[in-house]
Structure 1
Amino acid sequence: MADDSRFRVRYRLLADNPQDADQRALGIALEQTVEIPGDIVPKGYISDEIVGQIESVRHLGGNTYEAEISYSPDSAGDEIIQLINVIFGNSSIQQNIRVTGFEPGRVIRERFAGPRFGIEGVRARSGRGRGGLISPVIKPQGSSVRQLADIAYRCTLGGADIIKDDHGLANQTMAPFGERVKAVSAAVAEANARSGGSALYFVNVTGHTGSPVDEAFQAREAGAGGLLLMPGLMGFGVVQALSRDPSFDLPIMTHPSFTGPFVLTPETGVSHAIMYGVFQRLAGSDISVFPNVGGRFGFSVEECLSIAEACRASDGIGRPMMPSPGGGMSVERAGDMVSMYGEDVVFLLGGSLLRAGEAIGEAVRAMRDAVDSIAA
């Protein structure tokens, strides 16, 4: 009977023959744990428990194999950084190895709470009980604080559920972090009061002070309704720290910047579902942004659907989270997108909205109406 306390990782390997595949799997099991040759691994607890255990190696066809390796939760502790380090630390630097699956096991499920808010919590905060959420992005970089606040105000009046900072808005002199957070938060609050809405402003935190956690609390005090983080640049540890802090009670959205090299090469890295679904939920993100099919980044329908499934899977870590496809969304494509993703999704609206100029609020309303009419 399999030990349900251990977590399991599936790796797709390229190997010349079954013997080579077995040796590659053994190399991963050692590399990801003790990082020493097998003949000098200390006997007892380390060899029996800590070293990765090869559960199976099977031939998928051609020179492709799949290895399943189980690991002790003791090797990961309760840190997201160390857990990912065990899943695919040093082996990520080797060629022709790709992570395609992850089973957390009983102990990791107990140690990692996952999203604090998840789908139900985000809906409760945004006041949108059903249907896809609409999230325009305030941009472009170079805009003044006043210009960004005006865009946020108009979009909120138009029926947006989430006003998201563009991930390129940091602490530039054109719109410094502190000023931007206060002004946009105030604009969204004013528009909510006027319209009776509950739109949330998600602030981009980059750690410009050296402490992204402190900046997150500054944003909260200034009136932010949520947070945007880039774990590909700042690490998943920041996401985990904030999602676990009982005094930080805002939902977290994670952005895919800098993560492309992990998923784009089929022979290496990790699957799209692992990067934008599993890892985000493990860290405690509530909304995971990823490039939408039909946009400028080239993700396929299958890849996007696998991400959405991992975000919302009932057997994932903690509460199901909201997938958030960005790019390729328009009134004309609303039907296809709702059919593809269903209701529990955050649709990002980017640069195309800016073409509406001062009528940007009406453009958001048109998108809101299109999504609602299809879901009805």
Structure 2
Amino acid sequence: MSRFTVTYRLRAASRAEAQARAEGIALEQTVEIPRNVVPAGYVADEILGRVEEIGSLGEDLWQASVSYSPDSAGDEFTQFLNVVFGNSSIQQGIRVTGIDLGPEMAARLPGPRFGIAGIRALCGRATGGMIAPVLKPMGLTPAELARLAEGCVRGGADIVKEDHGLAGQPSAPFRARVEAVCAAMRKVRAQTGQRTLYFPNLSGRADEIERNLRFLRDAGADGVLVMPGLFGFGLVHRIATDAGLNLPVMTHPSFLGPFVLAPDNGIDHGVLFGTIQRLAGADISVFPNVGGRFGFSAEECRAIARACRDPSGPGRAMLPSPGGGMSVARAADMQAMYGQDVVYLLGGSLLRDPGRIDEAVAEMRRALPTGA
């Protein structure tokens, strides 16, 4: 059975220490017992992780490749992530920098249901960057949020995305909000011919999630926004693989920051916001844009975009969606940086005059070239 491989960057003072750390990862991520008590046969030969390669990256930094049996992951996406970086994520000086599925896990994890081509087909934007205004802030009523959504459609938005902070607050409860926005957008789309998609933010207690997914689909939502840092990547995978729901998924980075912010620990930006989101089945991955208030660098953002759109997989290419610091003045620079296959989130810059949000969206639409 073909194995999958995870690449780790290790902090170690010598090759011998790096080798020992890599062997520790191989044990920790699979059998979680000392090497001298690993049962012979299937467990030792197949289940136990294998250190495939150790290489120097410079002073006290090493790269280790560890391979794992697909049997250690089974058919559960959460267990796959557990093997990639479970207990070892709690140790200092270990960072995941790459995941190579191999043919067996690639077959088990097909990736996005829609991907770039599917999202473009749904919203009718064949070429050019896509625009996704954000409905906010919390505290508005369903009617007020619906009016904002109407303006976004009239302005030519491709996607109307709810803010991740809109949940079940009394000012705009989930179901009342989704019904109001769906009804408003349905009316304006009929008037204008626009095919703007609506992605409400999935919320609710654990025992309400399944019912809320069915509710938003039946109400007319076109996709769903999910926070995997709070709800889990398993939920993203479950939605993406449900042919009955048939909903594209946009993921939001809330609560995921600690995975990427420490250079010696966690997961590389491209792996977390690109590869893992794509493996889970997300069609659009939201991440903090360079020049915004969160401090991601240009190269980190480029790495995310590359991982989202890498034609070699896993699965269909997905859309990177940078948010924060986006404005008409930056449109040309952002287009030069990200290219055509991208979804730009537009938030606070559109809300200075809510009654004229259609004009603000239209101005941004004109600032983004639509040619290939």
* TM-score, scaled to structure 1: 0.97
Equivalent position of 1:67 in the other structure: 64
- Is contact 2:52-2:67 (8 Å) kept? yes
8 Å CA contact 2:150, 2:185 repeated in 1:
yes
Report the counterpart of residue 44 of structure 1 in structure 2: 41
In the other structure, the counterpart of 2:142 is 145
Q: Is the 8 A contact 1:209 1:215 kept in 2?
A: no
Shift of 1:61: 1.1
- State the alpha-carbon separation in 2 of the partners of residues 263 and 206 from structure 1: 25
Matches within 5 A, 1:197-346: 197-208=194-205, 210-346=207-343
In the other structure, the counterpart of 1:23 is: 20
8 Å CA contact 1:243, 1:284 repeated in 2: yes
Q: Matched residue of 2:250: which SS?
A: strand
What is the distance in 1 between the residues matched to 2:205 and 2:139? 17
Superposed, which structure 2 residues align to 1:128-167 within 5 Å? 128-167=125-164
The whole-number CA distance in structure 2 between the counterparts of 1:208 and 1:133 is 32
Please state if 1:113 is matched with 2:110. Answer: yes
- The residue that corresponds to 1:195 in the other structure is 192
Opposite residue 226 of structure 2, the aligned amino acid is L
Q: CA deviation at 1:211?
A: 3.5
**Residue 182 of structure 1 pairs with residue 192 of structure 2:** no
1:231 and 1:254 in contact (8 A); partners too = yes
Q: Whole-Å Cα distance in 2 between the matches of residues 209 and 81 of structure 1?
A: 17
Counterpart residue type for residue 191 of structure 1: V
Contact 1:203–1:224 under 8 Å retained in 2: yes
- The Cα shift of 1:38 comes to 0.3
Q: Aligned with 2:215: secondary structure?
A: helix
Q: Deviations over 1:231-281 (max 9, x none)?
A: 000101111111111101111100000000000000000000111011111
Give the secondary-structure state (helix, strand or coil) at the position aligned to 2:292.
coil
CA distance in 2 between counterparts of 1:357 and 1:74 reads: 53
Decide whether the 8 Å contact of 1:171 with 1:208 is kept in 2.
no
Query: Which of 338, 361, 365 lines up with 2:362 in the alignment?
Result: 365
Moved more, 327-336 or 352-361: 352-361
Equivalent pair of 2:148/2:354 in contact (CA under 8 Å): no
* Aligned mates of 1:199, 1:45 — CA distance in 2: 53
Show the counterpart of 2:166: 169
Q: Distance in 2 between matches of 1:332 and 1:173?
A: 37
Deviation (angstroms), 1:210: 2.1
CA displacement at 1:209 relative to structure 2: 5.5
- For residues 136-169 of structure 1, the C-alpha deviation after alignment (integer angstroms, 9 at most, x for no partner) is 0000011111110000001110000100010000
In the alignment, the residues of structure 1 paired with residue 237 and residue 333 of structure 2 have an alpha-carbon distance, to the nearest angstrom, of 34
2:5 counterpart of 1:8: yes
**CA gap 1:269/1:174 in 2 versus in 1, 3 angstroms:** same
Q: Separation in 1 of the partners of 2:286 and 2:152?
A: 19
1:8·1:105 contact (CA, 8 Å) conserved in 2?
Answer: yes
* Distance of aligned partners of 1:72 and 1:209 in 2 relative to their CA distance in 1, 3 Å threshold: closer
Q: What per-residue deviation string (whole Å, max 9, x for no partner) do you get for residues 112-132 of structure 1?
A: 110000000000111111111
What amino acid is the match of 1:103? D
Whichever residue aligns with residue 98 of structure 2, its letter is: G
The worse-fitting range, judged by mean Cα deviation, of 240-249 and 90-99 is 240-249
Q: Deviations over 1:270-306 (max 9, x none)?
A: 0001110111111110000000000000001100000
Specify every segment of 5 or more residues in structure 1 that has no aligned partner in the other structure, as ranges: none
Where does the alignment leave 5 or more consecutive residues of structure 2 unmatched? none
Superposition deviation, residue 223 in structure 1 = 0.8
Structure 2 CA distance, aligned partners of 1:267 and 1:353?
Answer: 38
- Please report how far the alpha carbon of residue 217 of structure 1 lies from its aligned counterpart in structure 2 after TM superposition: 1.2
- Deviations 1:25-82, CA, capped at 9 Å, x for gaps: 0000000000000000000110011110000111111111110000001101121101
8 Å Cα contact 2:308-2:319 kept in structure 1: yes
Residue 32 of structure 1 is matched in structure 2 by 29
Give aligned-pair identity as a percent. Answer: 57
Q: Assess if the C-alpha contact under 8 Å between 1:323 and 1:346 holds in 2.
A: yes
* Structure 2 length-normalised TM: 0.98
